Amino acid sequence: MFRKMAVVLFVLGLIVPAYSQQPESNSSAPRPHHEMSMLPRRGMASDQQIDRALDTLQRTLSLSLAQVTSIRQLARTRRESLSAIRDQARPKFEQLMSLLGQTNPDPTAVGRIVVDLKAIHEQTRTKQMDFEKQLSGILNTTQQQTVDNLRNQAQTFFALRRIGLLGTPDFPHRMFMSSMSQSGGAASDE
């Protein structure tokens, strides 16, 4: 039984990132702790976030207006596509959480749902690879090299952020200024 539960937890670890794709929500209504919507909201940018990101990309990659338009459409299509997959997975995930919440869950039923969720995860991975391939088709060789370099450096960036040794450029200033204003010190010039 322990081995089966370990496999279930392992598979869940593989599939959870696929279900963290959801648009920002303005709703402040509490949600059950096991609902998928409580997972991080990676990759589901609003139109405003897409536009801000494209402003940055246009400057840093020297994108043409046609490239900006194509990437904007690709980002929106990705958001809609992954949202549909997430909606497909939500009932399965909720069913799995319900089963695992039982005192003695049926291993066969749990296994069936895990296999279904794994298939949905693979569908998400395939779609993501397709979107990345489409992006490569939009970028020129120099732009693609810049993106590839960033991808290769991402592990180092996230490792430094994870251990707190790489913050945002204005983080030390903000921290200092907020402690000054809290202690009755000098007013912030932000």
For tokens 């066969």, what's the residue? 108
pLDDT value for 88: 92
Check whether 174 has a pLDDT greater than 50: no
If you average pLDDT over residues 128-146, what whole number do you get?
A: 96
Distance CA 153, CA 155 (A): 6
Gap between the terminal Cα atoms of the chain = 58
If you average pLDDT over residues 170-181, what whole number do you get?
A: 45
If you average pLDDT over residues 64-74, what whole number do you get?
A: 97
Tokens at 185, concatenated: 């010190």
pLDDT value for 9: 52
**165-184: b or e for each residue (b if 16 or more CB lie within 10 Å)?**
eeeeeeeeeeeebeeeeeee
pLDDT value for 170: 59
Query: Which of the pair, 71 or 188, is modelled with greater confidence?
Result: 71
If you average pLDDT over residues 5-28, what whole number do you get?
A: 46
Check whether 154 has a pLDDT greater than 80: yes
Nearest to 120 by CA among 74, 80, 81, 79: 81
Q: Would you place residue 179 in the very low, low, confident or very high pLDDT band (cuts 50, 70, 90)?
A: very low
Domain ranges of the chain: 2-24+32-139, 141-185
Distance CA 147, CA 112 (A): 39
Nearest to 78 by CA among 139, 31, 23: 23
Query: Which of the pair, 174 or 107, is modelled with greater confidence?
Result: 107
